[in-house]
Structure 1
């Protein structure tokens, strides 16, 4: 099988295995404690993509199954964000288990912004009412919101732990608990949006996004792919900004 970008065959399989080995060895050499996570994440990715390839064709034209698929996606993303938050700042320490309560609170910033935005886009006709349109758009927005929630939550908690004395000082001056905590953690949590901002600023100069490349390879005009990528990038920033402020508020309120 041939591709305009890569040759799919035995050599590609060897390259993928080498990527996993190199990543694991680098993580081990750097004493990150993540050398086992890299192969496990890679295996999961491969299995999940195989299942997706088998399922999406059947699901695409059945809206109720699309809805079920979106629920599975949002549940998985919320649980992943909750697990990331439970680890806090020390990945080498024994992992604290995330609870169902944690996952439910994480679902507010992780799942609600992408789902609500896509529902609005469906209502105005920007996104077509079929699985091949809904699932990728929700997935892109959801994945970025999940990452931002994990980063923002951990940065906010780390800042609150490190500057606990400032919170106590604010309380002694008459501040309520929520504004005192918010003053300390807001700016640190805001850094979680920086990777998305940097990627958007450098599109076309440093990064060539997957959506753009995929549309061009699929036969779309470059300008059409560019418009699609602007839609995706601005949507990511919108979801990310909402996820950021909601996560920060939940941490300040001691809900996450």
Structure 2
């Protein structure tokens, strides 16, 4: 689901500027700021800025959200790599995803300024620059995307095939364990119940060992549910600093 950047998100990262005027909710550019030069005006309270363009945060957030659209659908595009039915389709989808990640990384290397084009007030509230916080956030995001690019570039059709087989094996082991648990819960005979308990413990150990090995595979990092969730929430996390990208 596409995340829409809200006014609250924007205000969370902006250093709100001061001026000699008084903010008037939903006011025009000059209301409460008759004695100011260029200033924030009523931009932060639902009104117009006093920088000359009479911009409103509501309208500008539409443009900012549009600038972030490229992040949307990354999980779906990434998933198409593992779903490819032929090596040629795999290579085509892989190259397309690499280009997508590289474009986003390039934008992040620019401290995120390109994502905020269309906003008349910069993140320092003065049209001049961005706060230290948002610069650091986009630096960390660029590093995370660089890691994604490296993994995808090293991914081959054969590696994907083996990885899929291992995922299927893990699912089969998990299903077997679930079946043992159900059988254990329904069993009345104490001897049989003890035997099932031992089998469950053995199967748990087998699953843990297999998962440990699977976790070492770079593809697990690329296709894990945790990473999918990271990508799905990446725009929201940019503003709130949540998620492993920003740790």
TM normalised by structure 2 equals 0.31
TM normalised by structure 1 equals 0.30
Higher Rg: 2
Larger helix percent = 1
